[in-house]
Amino acid sequence: MLYNDPSPLETKVLTRLFGVPNSTSVETYVAHEGFAAFRKAAAMTPEAIIDEVKKSNLRGRGGAGFPTGMKWSFVPRNNPKPKYIVVNADESEPGTCKDRLLIEYDPMQLIEGMMIAGLAVGAKRGYIYLRGEYRYLVDILDKAIAEARAAGWLGTNIQGTGFDFDCYTHSGAGAYECGEESALLESLEGKRGVPRIRPPFPAVAGLYRCPTVLNNVETYCSVPSILRMGGEAWANLGTPRNGGTRLFCLSGHVNKPGVYELPMGFNLLRMIEEVGGGIRGGKKLKAVIPGGSSCPVLTAAECDLPMDFDSLKNAKSMLGSGGVVVMDETTDMVKVALRIMKFYQHESCGWCIPCREGTTWLKNILTRVYNGMGQKEDPALVHELASNMLGRTFCPLGDAAAMPTISIVEKFRDEFEAYVRRSPVTDLADIDTKIPVRA
């Protein structure tokens, strides 16, 4: 675990209580400057709080990287409807497991971040939406919420500040689609978890069609340290336009997989070699998924770059959710493409045709290629099908399936062609595209 074997290169901000005995309790949290940021925020105007978050250059840690302070500023102040704070804890992106640790070892930090967001936008109630497989975290959070409420940190007139705020947990049913903000809101309202047509966006018409701030766990957990340190000081931990630290989930063919808190802009090769202990078995690096399975793949030659949103965008990939999956020279990239597509085809909600049909056909074609029955047209066909999905779906799931597929076909075309050359079938009409993947 992270707190048992930390790296000396880590910058402990969000994870400062990891490994501290009884870190989930309100007493331990208060003894380590807990709720000091809330007290500071309670003496500020909502505009001043949002301005401090803007100064921090905090960008959403769920994947999109949208500036958090700007997102909060979109909530209309003069809207008479109730306002809500919603936490996206539906951490379902393959390769990502950081939010689980933040909730498991420091739930009070999340609660304080929600409270500060409530002060900033005038919300009095918050909901934490957790993925269905995280049911044990519901117990941890419910206990933490009850302790905070009993100690006067939640409820009416919190610590004499005149501010009322309370929060609740809500468990989903394990659908990856509910990680998309509008599908999450539909599920939270008790409906089928499918995306909404936007605009309007959640800041104007979110939960129960009321103004809503919706961010992920790591984003809210960053807010207390921003208020304690000051926005500019927090921003200086990272790179320009990419402030603070980030929890990176380092997995795959490395000697020391784990979740590490590093400054934004930390070099990817250095992360693999110095933090992750290098490639397992002394093998060579082949490719890296830099931010969860939905991100375009980087080749070994492209990995000498800073890990921040802008640098990854310039490299035609994404920082995403921070799930860094390392692959060595023995990795079969056709199998990688198929494994990723099987996931997205299974998790597609079926709401729109390009995603529902596109992921199914891509899985079928990749299946026949992997089973040695591919055609010479297949690599180009996979690329064309995936490209036609981009930007044509209600939510980003279609893009999430298409982007890594396109990058793998473009950068490792020779592996697809090698599979095709071994195929004994010459006529596309003779192929059953639903042949199951071999064990």
Helix (H) or strand (E) holding 236: none
Answer yes or no: is 323 within a domain. yes
State phi, psi for 393 to the nearest 5 degrees: -125, 160
Domain end position, chosen among 235, 264, 285 = 235
230 and 250 together in one domain: no
Domain end position, chosen among 189, 214, 235 = 235
Answer yes or no: is 13 within a domain. no
The pLDDT of residue 428 is above 70: no
Query: For the segment 233-248, what is each residue's pLDDT rounded down to a tens digit?
Result: 999 999 999 999 999 9
Question: Percent of the chain having pLDDT more than 70?
Answer: 95
Confidence label for 425 from pLDDT (cuts 50, 70 and 90): low
The pLDDT of residue 430 is above 60: no
pLDDT at 398: 95
pLDDT at 376: 92
The whole-number average pLDDT for the span 4-18 is: 87
The whole-number average pLDDT for the span 67-77 is: 96
Q: What's the CATH code of the domain at 97? A: 3.40.50.11540
> Cα 216 to chain center, whole Å?
7
Answer yes or no: is 285 within a domain. yes
Contact (Cβ atoms closer than 8 angstroms) between residue 265 and residue 244? no
312 and 337 together in one domain: no
State phi, psi for 23 to the nearest 5 degrees: -70, -15
pLDDT at 429: 52
pLDDT at 196: 94
279 and 363 together in one domain: no
Q: DSSP 3-state assignment of 412? A: coil
Confidence label for 206 from pLDDT (cuts 50, 70 and 90): very high
State phi, psi for 199 to the nearest 5 degrees: -70, 165
Contact (Cβ atoms closer than 8 angstroms) between residue 328 and residue 74? no
> How many domains does the chain divide into?
3
Helix (H) or strand (E) holding 374: none
The whole-number average pLDDT for the span 414-428 is: 81
Query: For the segment 86-115, what is each residue's pLDDT rounded down to a tens digit?
Result: 999 999 999 999 999 999 999 999 999 999
318 and 337 together in one domain: no
212 and 315 together in one domain: no
> Cα 159 to chain center, whole Å?
33
Domain end position, chosen among 328, 362, 394 = 328
Q: Does 398 or 428 have the greater pLDDT score? A: 398
Answer yes or no: is 370 within a domain. yes
Distance CA 281, CA 296 (A): 26
Q: What tokens appear for 166 in the block?
A: 């309370």
Q: What is the DSSP string of 176-220?
A: GGGGSHHHHHHHHTTS---PPP-SSPHHHH-GGGS-EEEEEHHHH
323 and 338 together in one domain: no
Query: For the segment 340-370, what is each residue's pLDDT rounded down to a tens digit?
Result: 999 999 999 999 999 999 999 999 999 999 9
Question: Residue 415's domain spans which residues?
Answer: 333-430
Contact (Cβ atoms closer than 8 angstroms) between residue 298 and residue 287? yes
Q: What tokens appear for 287 in the block?
A: 């490719």
pLDDT at 4: 47
Query: For the segment 373-390, what is each residue's pLDDT rounded down to a tens digit?
Result: 999 999 999 999 999 999
58 and 193 together in one domain: yes
381 and 418 together in one domain: yes
pLDDT at 227: 98
Distance CA 257, CA 79 (A): 47
What value does the mean pLDDT of the chain take? 94
Distance CA 37, CA 330 (A): 48
Q: What's the CATH code of the domain at 360? A: 1.20.1440.230
Q: What's the CATH code of the domain at 301? A: 3.10.20.600
Confidence label for 436 from pLDDT (cuts 50, 70 and 90): very low
pLDDT at 84: 98
Answer yes or no: is 416 within a domain. yes
Closest CA to 398 of 360, 368, 436, 437: 360
Confidence label for 63 from pLDDT (cuts 50, 70 and 90): confident
**Can you give the C-alpha Rg of the chain in angstroms?**
22
338 and 275 together in one domain: no
20: left (phi over 0), alpha (psi -120 to 50) or beta: beta
Q: What tokens appear for 274 in the block?
A: 């110095």
Answer yes or no: is 70 within a domain. yes
pLDDT at 426: 45
339 and 317 together in one domain: no
Contact (Cβ atoms closer than 8 angstroms) between residue 261 and residue 10? yes
The whole-number average pLDDT for the span 144-168 is: 97
Answer yes or no: is 150 within a domain. yes
Q: Sort strands 166-171 and 323-328 into parallel, antiparallel or unpaired.
A: unpaired
pLDDT at 437: 45
Q: Is the dihedral of CA 373, 377, 379, 381 positive or negative?
A: negative
CA-to-CA separations, 308 to 35, 59, 89, 99, 282, in angstroms, rounded: 29, 10, 22, 18, 28
297 and 339 together in one domain: no
Answer yes or no: is 209 within a domain. yes
The whole-number average pLDDT for the span 320-335 is: 97
pLDDT at 1: 40
Beta strands in 300-399 (DSSP E): 323-328
Closest CA to 355 of 316, 399, 311: 399
| Termini Cα distance of the chain | 31
312 and 398 together in one domain: no
Question: Percent of the chain having pLDDT more than 90?
Answer: 91
Contact (Cβ atoms closer than 8 angstroms) between residue 14 and residue 102? yes
Query: For the segment 335-346, what is each residue's pLDDT rounded down to a tens digit?
Result: 999 999 999 999
The pLDDT of residue 71 is above 90: yes
Cβ neighbours of residue 430 closer than 8 Å, sequence gap 6 or more: none
